[in-house]
Structure 1
Amino acid sequence: MSNEKKLSIPHPDPAWDYYIAWYSLHHIKDKIDEALIIMNENEKSTPQIDHLIKQSLAPASDKLIEIVERLPD
């Protein structure tokens, strides 16, 4: 499923320390929203639907872990 909605993310100053993480988190949020839409549109779980959901969430999950690991303790 392609994400057909336009990104309506405001664009802060790219020099901001959190800019890359902030932008990446918005992209992750869009992927989660995409997975929720797929779930909402399908009453029954099927291997095909599960695959679409996983396609949306897997890269988002990997990126979120990367962002969390880059933050200092």
Structure 2
Amino acid sequence: MTTNTNIPEPDPVWDYCQIWDSLQKIKAKIDVALEFMSEQEYASLYSDQEIKKLLAPASNKLIEIVNDVLIDDKE
């Protein structure tokens, strides 16, 4: 698996700058969860709970962005 870590910083006046920053923070939380998962030899209740704990804030923020920040084309 490869990841693209060569993403340039956006111009602060760019319309999507705040969303981009939020998505980068979400991605960082996902990366931490993936790293934790890669260190687990077997799935367990403990590891599942830890992964959920790591991903819940990212999930909540992503849902907020999708539902509340991005413009709904039905409006």
- TM-score (normalizing by structure 2): 0.74
Residue 42 in 1 paired to residue 20 in 2? no
How many residues are paired up?
66
Q: Label 1:9 to 1:51 Cα distance change in 2 as closer, same or farther (>3 A).
A: farther
Q: Which has the larger radius of gyration?
A: 2
User: What is the Cα deviation at residue 9 of structure 1?
Assistant: 6.5
Unaligned runs of 5+ in 2: 1-5
Query: Aligned partners of 1:13, 1:60: CA distance in 2, in Å?
Result: 24
Query: Aligned partners of 1:39, 1:50: CA distance in 2, in Å?
Result: 9
Match of 1:59 among 38, 57, 60: 57
Task: State the identity %.
Answer: 56
Alignment of 1:2-21 (within 5 A): 10-21=8-19
**RMSD across aligned C-alpha pairs, in angstroms?**
1.7
CA contact (8 A) 1:32 1:56 kept: yes
- TM-score (normalizing by structure 1): 0.76
Residue 68 in 1 paired to residue 66 in 2? yes
